[in-house]
Amino acid sequence: MIKVKEALQKATKKINESLISQTPLLDASLLLMQVTNLKRHQLYSASEQKLEENQYKTFNSLVEKRLEGEPIAYLIGSKEFYGHTFKVNNSVLIPRSDSEVVVEKALELVKRWERPKVLDLCTGSGCLGISVAAADKRVEMTLSDISFAALEVAKYNSFAILKRELPVIESNLFSALQKSSFNTIITNPPYLSDKWYEEVELQVKKEPKLALVGGSEDGLDLIRKIIEQSPNYLEDGGVLLIECDYRQNDLVASLLKEGGFSAIGQKEDLANVRRIVWGYYYA
């Protein structure tokens, strides 16, 4: 049988040599924690502890999957986002800290409404909408996505984090929301162009392509549709908040203006990369 510290050292070396990750020790630690149920600090206090044969076999299997590019979040089945632990699987995008700026801005925007009615369009794991609902108890949040499998994950996260199940609607953008209206719509839709998708890391390509690629040369097919259709679902003075690539920010702002939106704003994420664009619609 192998000791905890030896298993960790061997896995870290393998992951480092594969160049699949910039954080090989962290990756190996998270996988070992998954197998042993130890906390991270316990990996060191229990470093002389011996792994059971089935534990080591499972650990090696996870390490091999990591070497093949499988994201850590899928291997351990969860990802931290805005102070919450979200269940994830390969039906949904992995929440990224870059997207927390969407939550921060949404919470700022809904303050002006006595009864905030918010739609998280293309919700995926539900990380944006659920985080907003958790931070502001007044918010009436609806989650929608084209993927039934993604909505099953969002339902689980809703109950796990909020202790209640938010309304979820399976919908191709607004197609199943014909009688609905909101004062705020937030969305992190697919926005990569086909060319950009080909350039992303192997582990990103393990995530659902449907949730990544927005179509056309500029990746904005879906965002154009959202901007065009959202006024039909926004109350007077409502706001549309979009996450997109920094290379698209100015164009998305122009599309909002062309679509009749006003008071258009943009904001950077924590890495000072332009991440979100929003605008108000007055009928």
Q: What is the DSSP string of 224-244?
A: HHHHHHGGGGEEEEEEEEEE-
Both 273 and 223 in one domain: the answer is: yes
CATH number at residue 236: 3.40.50.150
- H-type helices in the chain, by residue range? 4-18, 24-36, 42-45, 53-67, 72-76, 100-109, 127-135, 148-162, 194-199, 221-229, 249-258
83 and 55, same domain (yes or no): no
Q: Which residue, chain included where needed, has tokens 């998954």?
A: 34
Domain of 87? 79-281
Q: Are residues 154 and 21 in the same domain?
A: no
Check whether residue 58 and residue 168 sit in a common domain: no
| Same domain membership, residue 135 and residue 195 | yes
Which of 68, 98, 117 corresponds to the end of one domain?
A: 68
The last residue of one of the domains, among 14, 48, 68, is 68
> In total, how many domains does the chain have?
2
What pLDDT does 66 receive? 97
Residues 167 and 192 in one domain: yes
CB 274 within 8 A of CB 249: yes
Residue 138 token pair: 């007044």
Residues 92 and 50 in one domain: no
My answer on whether 116 and 202 are in the same domain is yes
What CATH number corresponds to the domain at position 40?
A: 1.10.8
On whether both 56 and 83 belong to a single domain, the answer is no
Task: Supply φ then ψ for residue 96, to 5 degrees.
Answer: -120, 145
Q: What is the model's pLDDT at position 2?
A: 93
Is residue 74, in this structure, part of any structural domain at all?
no
Q: How far apart are CA 149 and CA 145, in angstroms?
A: 9
Torsion of the alpha carbons at 27, 31, 33 and 34, rounded to the nearest 10: 140
Residues 97, 219: one domain? yes
Residue 20 confidence (pLDDT): 93
Distance CA 6, CA 16 (A): 15
Q: Are residues 160 and 277 in the same domain?
A: yes
Question: What was the pLDDT predicted at 29?
Answer: 97
Nearest to 123 by CA among 98, 148, 140: 148
Classify each residue of 48-82 as buried b or exposed e, where b means 16 or more C-beta atoms within 10 Å of its C-beta.
eeebeeebbebbbebbebbeeebbbbbbbebbebb
Length of the chain, in residues = 283
Low-confidence residues of the chain: pLDDT under 50: none
**Residue bearing tokens 């162009």:** 193
Whether residues 249 and 154 fall in one domain: yes
